[in-house]
Homo-oligomer: A and B are copies of this chain.
Amino acid sequence: MPSPGLLTTWQYAVEVLATAAFALSGILEGARKRLDVVGVGVVASLAAFGGGTLRDLLLDRRPLFWVEHVEFLWIVLALAVLSVLFLRGRHFGLTERAMLWPDAVGLGLFCAAGTQVSLDMEMPLLVAAVLGVITAVFGGILRDMVCNEIPRVLRDHRPYAICAFLGAWVLIGLQVGLGMDERSSLLIAAGFASATRLLAVRFDWALPAWRL
């Protein structure tokens, strides 16, 4: 494993898992749109790298995480190529429903990673929470926008971005408020955000919307 550089080992592990989870969600979206192998690679890359790249741009943080860790690029490209070559329609009854899982897991992990990086750079707390949400949702926004759909974060009336927002405040509360160590607070915050999202889908929670 390469040296984590700016990232601690725990942050690194969290980013790898989140990247793989969102790459998978992009591959599934590309499959539904019947894209070719390059299109699937592009959508998977946007989903996997979009959020973290925007976070790094906004924070003026260089090298970007996928420049520092080139293996992320290799993994996502390999996943996309292998999926197109080996996945078939009969897998889809399964994966269509299972798409909720990578998306929710990626949401929690990226939200924790993005908030942590912002705290490390001494951002104000609300900014850290917002950057956690941006890291978590922007990849999915790009994925849906290039496929010409209204992003899920906007049209799904079940809680999505707000799970990331709450997860970010859990991390801030545990780490800044209670002084918990990084490893535990990252895992708890990521788990909280992912679990909230999965529960919201399972029990079909609805957010308040316009009553017109």
Number of interface residues of A (CB under 8 A): 58
Q: Do A89 and B146 touch (CB < 8 A)?
A: no
Q: For A74, what are the chain B residues with a Cβ–Cβ distance below 8 Å?
A: 126
Q: Is A67 interfacial (CB-CB < 8 Å)?
A: yes
Chain B, residue nearest A137 (CB): B42
Q: Do A127 and B73 touch (CB < 8 A)?
A: yes
Which of A15-23, A31-39, A184-192 lies on the face that meets chain B? A31-39
* Given known contacts A38-B153, A58-B53, A149-B148, A212 and B88 CB-to-CB distance under 8 angstroms: yes
Q: Is A202 interfacial (CB-CB < 8 Å)?
A: no
Q: Is A97 interfacial (CB-CB < 8 Å)?
A: no
* A interface residue numbers (CB < 8 A to B): 31, 33-43, 53, 57-58, 60, 62, 64, 66-67, 70, 73-74, 84-85, 87-89, 92, 123-124, 126-127, 130, 137, 141, 145-151, 153-155, 157, 159-162, 206-212
